[in-house]
Amino acid sequence: MYGRRASQLLKEQASCEAGQLTPFNSDAFEQVIKECDEHNLQLRSLIRKIEDQNLDIQTTRNEDHFGAVIHHLSLIRNKRCLMAYMYNRAEIIQSLRWKLGPVLPQEIQEKLNYLEEEYFKNHSTVIESYMSEMDIDLTVDMVPPKDPYIRVRVLDEIGEVCLDDHSISLSKHSLHFLRRTDAEPFISQGLMEEFVE
Amino acid sequence: MASSLGLGSGMWSEEAEIDASLLEGTTDVELLKQAWRNEKAAPEILKFQGPLVLRIREQIKLLEETVDEFRENGVDDLVVSLYQMDLDRTLFLLRSYLRIRLQKIEKYTIHISKTDLWNHLSEQEQKFTERCREKMEKHLEQSVLARLPHGYQSIMKQSISSEEDDMVPEPQLDTFVFCKTKDAVGAFQLDDTGDDIVDLVADDLYVIRYKSIKGLVDASQIDLV
């Protein structure tokens, strides 16, 4: 059936939890692209056939015309599916920049194709230029603040870091009492967690 | 939350006597909070509150200076942290407000850049939109469009036979929003046919389609919650 493969591509995406990426399905993607070419070939040859019979392409309503319409519509459907697939993924990629910062963890990077990696970097710079033009960092303060300080536990060796005006050694498993705005970037990268007793 | 905002407003009133908003008895933080709520609840991007954001940023700077001064002069830690908390809350509101707007732009980049909504953006947001659009177009171009047959390569149209742009995601203006009236609006017509008329009395809660009350939100006669 025409268009089935493209819809499967989207179904795969829809069955995944919202906001999560599935690994880029390049096999299915390529097959749909190939399908598009085939539809186009069929479409062209049917149009040529109508023209060869010296019929008016605008008004002819024979079997060749309807065949061509079906190929045209299938092509459009495939295009919409491919675009939706790419676009929905791009939206998730945008949201990752907000949630995780400018560097993606390995396991997410593996799910992107190379154009998407490129897009993530490009979009990242767009957000960064806005922030520098406005002179404000929008990637902190993702949740409404309760207390200006929070207690955190370091999950991974971070080492010596300079915060505000003093440097502090963030070694693995150590507990610290930090300003929330200082700790947030580490937390979003998974290097720290809020410590709740 | 209210008590801490009260603390802030007391201090700011000294330097902001000229401020028109204060004459009405509301502080800029209250105004920002409302702008933020509206922005959060509205499906489309609202007018950028340029002057308000500018004022807030000045006040934040002032507060930061005050906090620093307090620290240096060894003012009681508790007082300092109260001021700090107030500052953090205002900063959060501002950041979140700007962030929500950027995320709306990310979502409806093309729609915003080809409609009147363009005029709702700040100068920096307009630049952001242009760049966003450029990157997104390049991405879709390379991954999908360039590989499709000729005649199907437009990002705006499904094929060359489409007369209008039918591939551009648009915000859903039909959704219902919760809103609260400030003053009585009176009999209000909900749709074009005029069958549905609601009497909007002052200070009351309603659930209405965003589309119908769009004008009232723009004129800030009604608040979204």
Q: What is the pLDDT of residue B23?
A: 52
Q: Report yes or no: B39 at the A interface, CB cutoff 8 Å.
A: no
* A45 in any annotated domain: yes
The residue type of A63 is: E
Residues B100 and B151 occupy one common structural domain: no
Are residues A80 and A11 part of one domain? yes
Task: Please indicate, yes or no, whether residues A18 and A73 belong to a single structural domain of this protein.
Answer: yes
What pLDDT does residue B105 have?
Answer: 94
Residues A94 and A176 in one domain: no
Put simply, the chain B residues between 128 and 157 with a CB less than 8 A from any chain A CB are 128, 131-132, 135-136, 138-140, 142-145, 147-149, 152
State both tokens at B7. 């603390």
- Which three-class secondary structure string do you get for chain B? CHHHHHHHHHHHCCCCCCCHHHHCCCCHHHHHHHHHHHHHHCCCCCCCCHHHHHHHHHHHHHHHHHHHHHHHCCCCHHHHHHHHHHHHHHHHHHHHHHHHHHHHHHHCHHHHHHCHHHHHCCHHHHHHHHHHHHHHHHHHHHHCHHHCCCCCCCCCCCCCCCCCCCCCCCCCCCCEEEEEECCCCEEEECCCCCCCEEEECCCCEEEEEHHHHHHHHHCCCEEEC
pLDDT at res. B22: 47
Q: Are residues A124 and A76 in the same domain?
A: yes
Distance CA A169, CA A159 (A): 5
Do B7 and B81 lie in one domain? The reply is yes
A-B contacts (CB, under 8 Å): 109
Q: Which residues of B touch A147 (CB under 8 A)?
A: 85
In this prediction, residue A99 carries a pLDDT of 86
B85 and B140 inside one domain: no
Domain that includes residue B60, residue range: 2-107
Identify whether A34 is part of a domain: yes
A33 and A108 both lie in a single domain: yes
How confident is the model at residue B11, as a pLDDT? 45
Kindly report, residue by residue over A135-152, the tens digit of the pLDDT.
998 887 787 777 778 888
- Confirm whether A155 is domain-assigned: yes
Q: How do residues A98-134 score in pLDDT, each as one tens digit?
A: 988 888 888 899 999 999 999 999 999 999 999 999 9
* pLDDT score, position B6: 40
Reported residue count of chain B is: 225
**What's the rounded Cα separation, in Å, for the pair A174 and A183?**
14
Residues of B in contact with A180 (CB under 8 A): 88
Give B113's contacts (C-beta < 8 A, 6+ positions apart): B129, B130, B133
CATH code, domain with B203 = 3.40.5.60
Would residue A177 count as lying in a domain?
yes
Q: Do A123 and B135 count as a contact with CB atoms less than 8 A apart?
A: yes
**Residues B8 and B98 both lie in one domain:** yes
Does ipTM exceed 0.90? no
Per residue in B28-81, pLDDT (tens digit) is 898 999 999 999 999 999 999 999 999 999 999 999 999 889 888 888 888 888
Q: Is the pLDDT of residue A14 over 70?
A: yes
Of the two residues B24 and A106, the one the predictor is more confident about is A106
Length of chain A in terms of residues written: 197
Q: What is residue B74's predicted lDDT score, i.e. its pLDDT?
A: 82
Domain interval for residue A59: 4-134
8-state DSSP, A140: S
* Residue A4 to chain B, least CA–CA distance (Å): 18
Question: Closest-CA residue in chain A for B131?
Answer: A126
Residues whose CB falls within 8 Å of the CB of residue A63, separated by 6 or more in sequence, listed in order: none
Q: Which of B170, B187, B216 is the last residue of a domain?
A: B170
Chain mean position to CA A76: 22
User: What residue ranges in chain A does DSSP mark as E strands?
Assistant: 149-154, 159-163, 166-170, 175-179, 192-194
Which CATH number characterizes residue B35's domain? 1.20.58.1030
How many domains, chain B?
3
Q: Are residues A57 and A117 in the same domain?
A: yes
User: B198 and B156, same structural domain?
Assistant: no
Instruction: List, in order, residues 6 or more apart from A131 with CB less than 8 Å away.
Output: A137, A138, A139
